[in-house]
Every structure is written in C-alpha cells, then in structure tokens.
Amino acid sequence: MAGRRLPVGAEVRDGGVHFRVWAPKRKAVGVVIDGVRSVPMEPEADGYFAAFAPGAGVGARYRFRLDGEGPFPDPASRSQPDGVHGASEVVDPSAFAWTDAGWKGVELPGQVLYEFHVGTFTPEGTWDAAVERLPRLVELGVTVVEVMPVAEFAGSFGWGYDGVQLYAPYHEYGPPDAMRRFVDRAHALGLGVILDVVYNHFGPDGCYQGLYSDDYLHHGRASGWGDSLNFDSAPSREYFIANAGYWIDEFHLDGLRLDAIQAIHDSSDDHVVAAVARRAREAAGGRSIVIFAENEPQNVRVVRPQGEGGFGLDGMWSDDFHHAARVAATGRAEAYYCDYQGTPQELVSAVKWGFLFQGQVVKWQQKRRGTCAFGVPAMRFLTYLENHDQVANSARGSRLKTITSPGRYRALMGVTLLAPQTPMLFQGQELGSERPFLYFSDHHDELAKAVREGRREELAGFRSTTLPELREFLADPGARSTFEASKLAEPEDYRHVADFRLIRDLLQLRREDPIFRAQDSARIHGAVIGPEAFVLRYFGDGPDCRLVLVNLGRDLYPTANTEPLLAPPPGMDWSVTWFSEDPRYGGSGIPPLESDQPWRAPGHSAVVLAPVPAPDRPDEPEMGSTEVEDYDVHPALRRRRRGG
C-alpha cells in the first residue's frame, strides 16, 4: 500500500507494475498480463490481494483470475480500451504533460455552468472534437462546463448513468489522456470543468464487482435503479470516496456533480457524501473546487457546513424553478409538474427564496417535500430552463423553445440568467437547437427490451404519452438512430444565431452590472402586476437599483401603477437597459418608455430598467396653491390649461 496513489488498481512503479484488488470472497487471486503471463497475488488484511509484476509497463492489458475462474477486468481499472467486458489497461497518470500549473480552480460566486454530453456534443462524439467548441463557450460567457458521466459503461452509446468501472473514462470518447487534454485546454481558456459522478448504483451490464465481493451492494435496500451501494463496508466505502479524489487529482477537475444523492443510503455519523466532499477538496490541494448535488427531496443539509451537521457541498440543483418556469411557458402540468401553477408569484418566490417547496405537502408524492431554505445564499441554488433529464422526460425529447412561444422563451431566459441563483445552460441552447435530447442506451437484446419497457412505464406518469396514437412516435432507447438524433447540429456561424446573441448579452449584463453580479436575493423584492406579469426590483447601494419587468401574457396597458416597486428612485426616471424583444434576438421590438405617460408592458417579453437622472422639470406647485387640482389632470391637458 505504501507509495500508492489509490488503494486499488494497477500503478506503475520503477521496474514494473503494482496490482492491488479487494476480493474478500476469494481465496486465491492472480493477475493475468497480456493474456499469457500469470502472477499470483498475496493476500493482505481486510480481503485485499496485491502483487508486483516486474517488467510490466504502461499499455499492458491485464485481468484478474479468481479462484481459478475468469479472468475478469479490474473493478478499479483506469482504462478499458475494449469496453466493460474487455481487458483492463495499465495507465501512468503522471506521464501527461500538463500546462495548467497556474490554474487556481473555481469558486462558487459568479459561475455560469454549461452541461453537455460528450457523445452528442459534436458529430464525432469525442473529447478531442469537444475541445474545438470550447472557445465558443468562453465567448458566450460560460465559466464552468459540467460533463455528464463518463465512467465506463456497457455499449457503444448511452447517457453514462449506468457506469460500472468508475475509474475508467468511457473508451468511445477517447483514451484517458484525451480527457486530460480537454481539461488542460479548458483551463488555458479560463474554463473550469466539473464531472457528473454516480455513487448511488451500478449499471446492470458489465458490473463485475459482485464476483470480487458481496459487500459492494446492500441487497436489502433498493435505490430506484437496483440494489443500493453499501457504505457500511469500509473497503467498499473507500472505493467510492477514493474515486472522488481520483478525478480531481489525476484529471485536474474543478469539482463534481453528485447524482441523485437521495438514493445514497448511509446511516453512519460521517455521511459518505460529506466524506466524498472532503476527499475531493483534499485532492485539489491549493486549488478551489465546487461540488454540486442533485437532491430531489430538497434537503438543505446538503449545503450546510459540515461543522453544523451538513454535507458541506457548494450547491444544489433547483427543480422548483425549472418546473414553475416550464408550466408558465407551456401551460402543461402533467406528472411531477402537477404541483406547479406557473404563476408570476411562483417565479417571484423562486427568485427570492430558492426552493418553492420547503416542507409543504406535494400531491404528486402525497408527502411533505423540501426543508426551510431561508437564509441560504441564492448562489447555492442551481437554476436552468433545460437539463438532460427535463428535456428527455417528454414524449419527443423536445427543447423548451419548440413547445412555447419565442417571446416567452426569451423572457424566461432573461429571468433565469439575471436571477441571483447560479445559472446552468444545457448543450445547444446557445445555438437555438431544436434537435431533441432523448434517452438512449445500448444494451443486449434482453436488457434492451427491459429498458424500453421501463422507459415507457416511467413516462406513463405523463398521461399524454399513453395515447395509443403516440406510441409509434416514442423513440426506442436502444436504437442508434435515437442517439444520432440527439447530436447537435453545428450552424455555419454561431455568432449569427439569435439565441447566441441573447444569451451572450444577458451573461455580459450579469457579469458587468454590479447589481446583478451581487447575487443577493435579500436585496430583491418582487410583485405580481398582472395575470401573467410580475416585476423584480434589485436594490443596490443608495438609489442604484434595477427593475426587471416580465410579462408572459398579453400586453398590459396601462400597467398597474399602484405597485410601489415600479416607482423610480427620487429624482430619477427609468431607462431601458435590455429587452428580450430586441430585433437582434428575433424579437419584434417594444413600445417606447415615456416617463410621464402610463406604461405599456409588452406581452411575451422581459425588460430591464435602470435609473437615470430625471430631466429638469418646472417647480411643482406647493400644497395649498390654486393649481393643486392639476395633479389629477393628464399632463397634456395641464399644459393646455396653462397656455402651453
């Protein structure tokens, strides 16, 4: 164990390779190198076996023989060139020539995330092809890319959430050093990279862990995707905790996104999620990293400091914002959307308070959901209009912009990217992509059938998907055509895409305007001003502030001027800073704002206003003068009565 980077796996040493594996259910273990050389392994404490193989080196292929059975791939393999069922490959992580020595990592404030899937991000579906798209993301205003899971999984395509060899980057995307090249280039461009990791279940195909130990899984407890992982066993627990540090250390990643941690069951005093976070931060050394989690029950313990009994993560995904926005955009409220009205008040509350459900009963689950999030900094909530799940959880994998009006979509994009929460974009939004993102997974016939039926059952919560006439239009997850249909199509010049201009301008405003940059929800107040309209007032220092006027319905004229948030600061008038109906974004313009006239709030739009000094006006008459009654007269009539 001395001198090893990891507790298990193959590691290059002077003169050979050291192998170590946890196999407590076996009595005799040996390593077979390049299919011909067999080296017996010595038993160690706690069910480990180890051996040093002189003369072996980088690129050697190996498997383990267990009590004469096999040989089988290494559960801690760093590379599987031929997939989950093939031989493991010896890799030397120290051989890569990194150029990011000056990179200091990323901290939570000010980040803008971009989620993407390596296999569909480019036509080639590789790390090296994805590198070529990074300058576009920098120009857009993205600061961190979030990569969907890449731990080795079965088949030639898939989402990656069925990983089985958690230390091996998926071979179809390129060798491990291709992933390192991607991260190194991202850092050179000023981009952070975080990875989605799955510590709640193993995939159903290629999971050889059970041949080594019965203690990787908790067979009496389900996760929703099969048996739960077992964190009561110390070596099993260490396997996952070490994996978190591995990605940060050997790939210079800037953080992790932990998938569905509500399905990670651990009754120990030191919850494994907290331990994962500590190991990841230790592995980063002097670099700053960020760790997010998906937690459907919305338990803010996730982001509480570990010293206060929390897990110490940086942020959580916020489905509440997405669900309210989607219902507002489409009017559809099936399945888990049924608890949302899509009202202006829901959107105001989501911006102000983060989670909408903080302990109330939800009818979809028939139980209480959420915990009190008051006082949690807004930046700890990750918000989005699209992510991989929410796009795919529909009959056709439709993009939001294709199932709502263009104006509503632009307005909601404005709300999302100017809100104080940490925003995330999904691949293709900046291209105005109308390509679907579907669920796809490549499995053998029997498993493919089970996945196909399971997917239909999962979607059946959306009652419209059970319509018999729709069945023939539901994409088959196992068909390669489903995977190919989800690949992004590249425009000739992305700079001419209206959605690229929209998002780039909003992110520039978010980055450069000190009021929006503050991400301070405590200084934001909102009000409903119409059936589908609301206003958000962002207060700064002194009289400085911003007003965001959003109308997802028909024109309002006149706008309800009884709302105090609409009043400009003393001695100021409002001036338009940004509007979603700018013709550069494909919009149809907005009526001019006249300070002494009733406002018209244009339908399907968002407008950002900032205070500017008001022009000099004639002295107003003092109370008690003979002209007081003029205050109830339209300005044009007032001028006429005064002979103007």
CA 164 to mean position of chain CA atoms: 22
Instruction: Determine contact, residues 363/338, Cβ cutoff 8 Å.
Output: yes
Best CA proximity match to 565, nearest among 605, 536, 522: 536
DSSP assignments along 361-409, one per residue: EETTTTEEE----TTS-GGGEEE-S--HHHHHSSSS---GGGSS-HHHH
> Can you tell me the distance from the alpha carbon of 137 to that of 114, in angstroms, rounded to the nearest whole number?
8
Best CA proximity match to 34, nearest among 11, 55, 4: 55
HEC sequence for 442-471: CCCHHHHHHHHHHHHHHHCCCHHHHCHHHH
Dihedral sign of CA atoms 317, 318, 319, 325 in order: negative
Q: Is 442 among the residues known to form the active site?
A: no
Cβ neighbourhood burial of 496 (10 Å; 0-12, 13-18, 19+)? exposed
> Can you tell me the distance from the alpha carbon of 495 to that of 501, in angstroms, rounded to the nearest whole number?
7
Contacts of 314 (CB under 8 A, 6+ apart): 108, 255, 290, 291, 292, 303, 380
> Can you tell me the distance from the alpha carbon of 172 to that of 166, in angstroms, rounded to the nearest whole number?
15
Residue among 294, 319, 532, 582 flagged as catalytic = 294
Residue among 146, 249, 259, 314 flagged as catalytic = 259
> Can you tell me the distance from the alpha carbon of 22 to that of 43, in angstroms, rounded to the nearest whole number?
10
CA atoms lying within 13 Å on the CB side of residue 300: 20
Q: Is 259 among the residues known to form the active site?
A: yes
> Can you tell me the distance from the alpha carbon of 515 to that of 544, in angstroms, rounded to the nearest whole number?
8
Instruction: Determine contact, residues 71/28, Cβ cutoff 8 Å.
Output: no
461: which 2 tokens?
């919560």
Which residue's entry shows tokens 């700890």?
A: 380
Q: How many CB atoms are closer than 10 A to CB 544?
A: 14
76: which 2 tokens?
């801690």
Terminal CA-to-CA distance of the chain, rounded, Å? 93
Q: How far is CA 510 from CA 243, 503, 507, 590, 607, in A?
A: 35, 10, 5, 22, 14
Which residues are the active-site residues? 259, 294
